[in-house]
Structures are given as C-alpha cells and as structure tokens.
Amino acid sequence: METTRTLIPPERYHAAGTLGPLALGGSDPCGGFRGGVFWLAGRTPAGPATLGLAPAGGVLTATGYGPGRDWIIERADAIAGLRDDVGDFPALAARHPLVARLAKTFAGIRMPATGLLFPRILRAVLEQKVTGKEAHRAYRAIVRHFGEPAPGPAGLTLPPDPAAVAATPYWRFHPFGVEQRRTQALLRVAAVAERLERCADSAEATRRMTALPGIGPWTAAEVVRIAYGDADAVSVGDYHIPNTVAWALAGEPRGTDERMLALLAPFAGHRGRVCDLLAAGGIGAPRFGPRQPLRSFAGF
C-alpha cells in the first residue's frame, strides 16, 4: 500500500540543493535521487517506511510506503524543507555583501528536518576525524552488513537498527574500516537511540548526545542541523569550516573556532545556514600543504 500527498513548495524552490544533503549522492543505499525522484528510507516510530518526493509542475508529490508510511507522509513537508522558516534571515544576510549575494542566489535551498536521528548520528560518528571517502566507505559497508530491504519500489535498504548495532561487539566493525574509538562512540549512541529519538528539540538532543563519551559539539551539530532543521547549528571543531568562514567573511586565510563564532555572531539564529551557503557557493580558504591521506583501518 501507499499514501500520497501533494506539497506546494515556495517560489524558486531548489529540490536538489535542499534534499541532496540527506543522502550520499547516488551511492547511498538508504536514499538519493533516482530518475528525478528523491527517495529516503527510514525506521519511523510507526515502523519501516520509504518516502518518495517527485518535483514536477511547481508541486512536490510525496508518496509513502510501508508500515510507517502515514508517519513519513505527515512529515514529508519537513523532510522537504518546507517548514524551514527563513524569518529574519534576509535582513541579517544584508549585513555582509557576500552572505547577501549567496542568500539571494540560493534562496530556493531550504533546510530539511527529517525527525530521524540515528541514521544521521551513524554518518556523523563515522565522519569524525577522517576523510569523507573513508567515512562514506565505512557507512556503506555497515548499511550492507545490517541491511534489510526498505518498503516501496526504489530498491532501497533501511538504515541499521540501533538495537542490532548496540548488540554487536566492537571488533566486528574493524573490517568496515572503523577503529575502536569511533565504534565505541557509535555503540554508546545506539544503546540509547530510542531515548534520543524522543527528544523534543535540537537543544535537548544536543545536551543528551554530548553527555555521551565520544560525542562532541561537532557531531551533535551535524545531527541536529538535518534531523531538526536547526539553522543555527555550527559544527565547532571542523577541520575546514573555521578557515572557510574566516576567509569568506574577513579575508583571513586561517581561522579558529573562536574566530569563526565571532564572525558568525551577527547571524545568530542562522549561523549554520550561513555555513551551508558558503559551501553551496563553493567558497573555500586557500589551501596550504598536502591533502589528508586516505587510510583503511580494516587493513591495520
């Protein structure tokens, strides 16, 4: 069975820019664009579900499949970023010419809010202190290992069941390319995932996550920005973002977390949105030195 809902996006809505961050391009077993439709599989409070979002003719047609289809259809507008309230952001953006230009150029990109924490926690933990390629390779391996077919016609895989992850000994993750430190952080989160999923807002989720060893402000921000659509969440501790912000907003090639937060202070309430706009605009600080090498913990 399936459930369908028609959504009306705002003018100039950009489906690819809004929904793209929810998946790892075409290589994510749990979602992504397939034939012009964006698909997302998840474990909802009502059971497994798959959501399809098809943009055409100025509308978004949302279709839900599986036992959790009513839950995911009710939340389809949030997942599509249609509950994102830009509010006073245009006035704040006008305080800096680059931010104002990017805000106008990418006005059609909205911040999604999936309401599903654990899949995002999984990705964020795996992305701690390693390159994106390493993290994404481990993510795909873990999804395949714990994989269950998602409902619907897209051929997706459900994200791992937190209970199954929590019950797995840490050494089983070594062949996936994940060392003990990140694995233990993931196991701690998986053990309390049910409570985390019930958090009322991003502030509560951040408090609960950062109370766990191995989960810091960077990981929490990466989670709540997508799960709750928190436009103010800044990934403090990131390798690149402080430099990007310092270069874009002050012309300084290098920046610290403290300098980044000071430069973002005029955009309070939308600091994470500003960082996303800089990324969308391809803004980056000058590079000095070699790239971080790719490693494989599975071979250690």
Residue 285 in any domain: the answer is no
CA-CA distance, 203 to 223, in Å (whole number)?
11
Cα 37 vs. chain centroid, distance in angstroms? Answer: 19
Query: To 5 degrees, how large is the angle CA 144–CA 146–CA 152?
Result: 75
Interior/surface letters 210-235, b for 16+ CB within 10 angstroms, e for the rest: eebebbebbbbbbbbbbbbbbbbbbb
pTM: 0.92
Return the pLDDT at 147. 86
**Please, are residues 3 and 73 in contact by the beta-carbon 8 Å criterion?**
yes
Indicate whether 254 and 193 sit together in one domain: no
CA-CA distance, 16 to 189, in Å (whole number)?
30
Indicate whether 246 and 206 sit together in one domain: no
Residue 275 in any domain: the answer is yes
- Look up residue 25 and give its DSSP letter: G
Indicate whether 262 and 192 sit together in one domain: no
Return the pLDDT at 296. 53
CA-CA distance, 121 to 127, in Å (whole number)?
10
Residue 99 in any domain: the answer is no
Indicate whether 137 and 198 sit together in one domain: yes
pLDDT tens-place values along the chain, 300 residues long = 899 999 999 999 999 999 999 998 788 999 999 999 999 999 999 999 999 999 999 999 999 999 999 999 999 999 999 999 998 999 999 999 999 999 999 999 999 999 999 999 999 999 998 998 999 999 999 999 998 999 999 999 999 999 999 999 999 999 999 999 999 999 999 999 999 999 999 999 999 999 999 999 999 999 999 999 999 999 999 999 999 999 999 999 999 999 999 999 999 999 999 999 999 999 999 987 555 454 454 554
Strands 2-7 and 59-65, bridge-based pairing: antiparallel
* Two structure tokens written together for 79: 């997942």
Indicate whether 12 and 72 sit together in one domain: yes
Domain end, chosen from 83, 106, 138, is at: 83
Indicate whether 134 and 211 sit together in one domain: yes
Indicate whether 218 and 268 sit together in one domain: no
Number of domains in the chain: 3
Residue 7 in any domain: the answer is yes
Indicate whether 79 and 164 sit together in one domain: no
Residue 95 in any domain: the answer is no
> CA distances (Å), 47 to each of 41, 65, 68, 90, 242, in order?
11, 10, 5, 39, 39
Indicate whether 144 and 183 sit together in one domain: yes
Residue 91 in any domain: the answer is no
Indicate whether 185 and 263 sit together in one domain: no
Which CATH number fits the domain that encloses residue 143?
Answer: 1.10.340.30
- Domain, as residue range, for 273: 241-280
Interior/surface letters 103-142, b for 16+ CB within 10 angstroms, e for the rest: beebbbbbbbbbbbbbbbbbbbbbbbebeeebbbbbbbbb
Indicate whether 149 and 193 sit together in one domain: yes
Domain end, chosen from 83, 105, 138, is at: 83
Residue 102 in any domain: the answer is no
Q: Give helix 217-227 / helix 271-280 axis angle, nearest 10°.
A: 80
Indicate whether 210 and 263 sit together in one domain: no
Residues, the chain: 300
> CA distances (Å), 57 to each of 26, 60, 151, in order?
24, 8, 27
Return the pLDDT at 288. 72
Residue 296 in any domain: the answer is no
